Amino acid sequence: MAATTERALVRHLARAISPETEIEICSGQQAIDRDDALIEKVAAFPPGASCIRIWENHNCLVTTRRIARRAAFAEAVAASAQSGWPVYVRSSGGSTVIHRPGILNISLAKAAGADIVQPETSYDDLLLMLRDGLQKLGIEPSIGAIKGAYCDGKYNLCLNGRKIAGTASRIVRRKQQTVYLCHASIAVYGSPMRDISLISAFEQNMGLDHIYAPSSHTTLIELAGF
């Protein structure tokens, strides 16, 4: 059970990012699929329109379609589910990540009209929103890759050289316009070491031998001194 301070920080961060957006508490594949529904919803909007979703998931691993096509996927999913961590599949990029209470997800979908959207551009609005939100809490994150982090990428949010949020995006064409969704998972509290252990066990069951460093990850509670 999380401490009152930890839950308060989740709510405080969500409000700092988007004061008018309630946190959705979700579970199952449905929680992941709502991001796809968000893209389809925004596709019907005029260029420039956007929708944000702030959500927190029950315990699960979330992986990509590419990994879901591996030969040993079904066995690895069964083993993870047996340990209390079901596995769901998302349509954005990256690799396997963890969702649980204490990891706050933010999804931002935007309609871009007839413009071509480059991968970098798909991250801009959400990263700006997250940086602004964190700055309101007195936190000044940097953006960049972190060696040894799981689901690493050049648009991680980092504190003191450790990853606190991973990001991924998806760019599609719908109804004559480009629509994109950028998603971030911010580690507010919890144990990165346990997260890595769960992800590593799942990946090893599929024959993947990625090595992750617990020291590459942190949480807001751990590093920002709340």
Partner 1 sequence: MTDILVPHGQWEADQDAALATWLYGDGETVQEGVTVAEIMVEKTSFEIPAPASGTLSIAVEEDAIVAPGQVLGSIR
Q: How far is the CB of 22 from partner 1 (least distance, A)?
A: 27
Residues 6 or more apart whose Cβ sits within 8 Å of residue 120: none
Q: How far is the CB of 158 from partner 1 (least distance, A)?
A: 15
- Judged by CB under 8 A, does residue 175 bind partner 1? no
Cβ-based nearer residue to partner 1, 57 or 122: 122
Among positions 31-90, residues that touch partner 1 (CB under 8 A) are 64-66, 69
- Judged by CB under 8 A, does residue 153 bind partner 1? yes
On the 0-12 / 13-18 / 19+ scale of CB atoms within 10 A, 137 is middle
Cβ-based nearer residue to partner 1, 129 or 151: 151
Cβ-based nearer residue to partner 1, 65 or 194: 65
Distance CA 130, CA 172 (A): 23
Helix (H, G, I), strand (E, B) or coil at 139: coil
Among positions 79-138, residues that touch partner 1 (CB under 8 A) are 91-94, 116, 118-119, 122
> Which single residue is written with the structure tokens 């919803």?
41
Cβ-based nearer residue to partner 1, 96 or 224: 96
Report CA-CA distances (Å) from 47 to 53, 175, 213: 19, 11, 42
The window from 41-49, 132-140, 166-174, 204-212 that contacts partner 1 (CB under 8 A) reads: 166-174
Q: How far is the CB of 97 from partner 1 (least distance, A)?
A: 11
Which one among 50, 80, 107, 167 touches partner 1, defined by CB under 8 A?
167
Token couple for 151: 């689901």
The beta strands (E) that lie in 58-195 are given as 60-64, 87-90, 97-99, 103-111, 142-143, 157-159, 162-174, 177-187
DSSP conformational letter for 134: H
- Judged by CB under 8 A, does residue 147 bind partner 1? no
Cβ-based nearer residue to partner 1, 59 or 91: 91
Distance CA 3, CA 147 (A): 31
β pairing state of 50-57 and 103-111 = antiparallel
- Judged by CB under 8 A, does residue 194 bind partner 1? no
How many residues touch partner 1 under the rule CB under 8 A: the total is 23
Binding site for partner 1 (CB under 8 A): 64-66, 69, 91-94, 116, 118-119, 122, 151, 153-155, 167-173
